[in-house]
């Protein structure tokens, strides 16, 4: 059972984590939710469309203008508090690698710390333990935050992913993070070229077999764009195809931009797998 905030998710329940970027320069929406009202409207829409988790980020993942910890706190903490007030039952995640930010957002009501840079600040897991928050343990290939990989090489990319993420997960539990609130993430694109990310997807079952809940962040990423030779705004179909494969292989949490479309894909896979009844079953019964 995956436990995050006030919510519990059964092992075969496929969960959506909706992206809400509090940045003026996000790669996908170019700052559409930088200001409070559009961001709150995005949260309301995402919850209505089936997201159980809202992932709030104050710094874009890619290179760009430097954002201090103080500025990241300014962009996220008040917003976390307002989302907590308006949506008491939603799971609030914050995408950060800094322990100072983790401390501030947990004080404001965050339930999960999404460490997309693979433990570069080891104190972040300590913060999660202190507040009883969930933690996402990600493989980033040793890449420094906000840098792009250059000629990344692995003898076996999945072996490296497992070594890193399982190590981070076990350390988190030893520190006091609830075991049922820890997720592992292969880190598509982070410290990887396109072939690495495709292999990580193809072998996702090896992560699922460890017993840790697997989170995938696939939405409109470069590996999808390069595979299909599509710009950022034309990667939805490729993302949804990758989502379906990941769901069939057993991933549980999906960090996405397109919530409604992803919900349909996940529900369809769940029904094919026998984990969900059809919404309507009339054909051949009249």
CA within 13 Å, CB half, 190? 26
The residue from 171, 192, 221, 235 that is catalytic is: 221
> What predicted TM-score, i.e. pTM, was given to this entire model?
0.96
Q: Is the pLDDT of residue 25 over 90?
A: no
Q: Is the pLDDT of residue 286 over 80?
A: no
Stretch 29-53: mean pLDDT, rounded? 92
Give the Cα separation of 41 and 206 in Å (integer): 38
192 is catalytic: no
Per residue in 143-201, pLDDT tens? Answer: 999 999 999 999 999 999 999 999 999 999 999 999 999 999 999 999 999 999 999 99
Stretch 88-99: mean pLDDT, rounded? 98
CB atoms within 10 A of CB 22: 24
Backbone angles phi, psi at 135, to 5 degrees: -145, 135
The residue from 7, 255, 282, 283 that is catalytic is: 255
233 is catalytic: no
Give the Cα separation of 123 and 217 in Å (integer): 23
């Amino acid at each position: 059972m995956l436990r995050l905030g006030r919510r519990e998710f059964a092992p075969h329940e496929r969960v959506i984590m909706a992206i809400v970027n509090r940045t003026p320069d996000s790669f996908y929406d170019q700052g559409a939710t930088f200001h409070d009202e559009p961001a709150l409207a995005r949260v309301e829409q995402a919850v209505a469309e089936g997201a159980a988790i809202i992932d709030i980020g104050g710094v874009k993942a890619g290179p760009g203008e430097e954002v201090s910890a103080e500025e990241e706190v300014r962009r996220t903490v008040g917003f976390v508090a307002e989302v907590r007030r308006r949506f008491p039952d939603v799971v609030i995640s914050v995408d950060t690698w800094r322990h100072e930010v983790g401390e501030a957002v947990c004080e404001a009501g965050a339930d999960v710390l999404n460490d997309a840079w693979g433990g570069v600040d080891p104190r972040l897991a300590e913060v999660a333990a202190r507040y009883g928050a969930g933690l996402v343990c990600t493989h980033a290939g040793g890449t420094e935050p906000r840098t792009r990989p250059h000629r990344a090489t692995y003898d076996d990319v999945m072996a490296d992913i497992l070594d890193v993420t399982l190590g981070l997960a076990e350390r988190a539990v030893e520190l006091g993070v609830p075991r049922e609130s820890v997720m592992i993430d292969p880190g598509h694109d982070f410290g990887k070229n396109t072939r690495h990310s495709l292999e990580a997807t193809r072998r996702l079952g090896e992560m699922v077999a460890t017993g840790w809940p697997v989170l995938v962040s696939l939405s409109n990423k470069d590996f999808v764009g390069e595979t299909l030779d599509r710009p950022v705004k034309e990667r939805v179909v490729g993302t949804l195809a990758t989502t379906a494969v990941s769901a069939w292989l057993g991933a549980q949490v999906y960090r996405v931009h397109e919530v409604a479309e992803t919900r349909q894909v996940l529900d369809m896979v769940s029904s094919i797998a026998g984990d969900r009844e059809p919404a309507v079953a009339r054909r051949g019964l009249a």
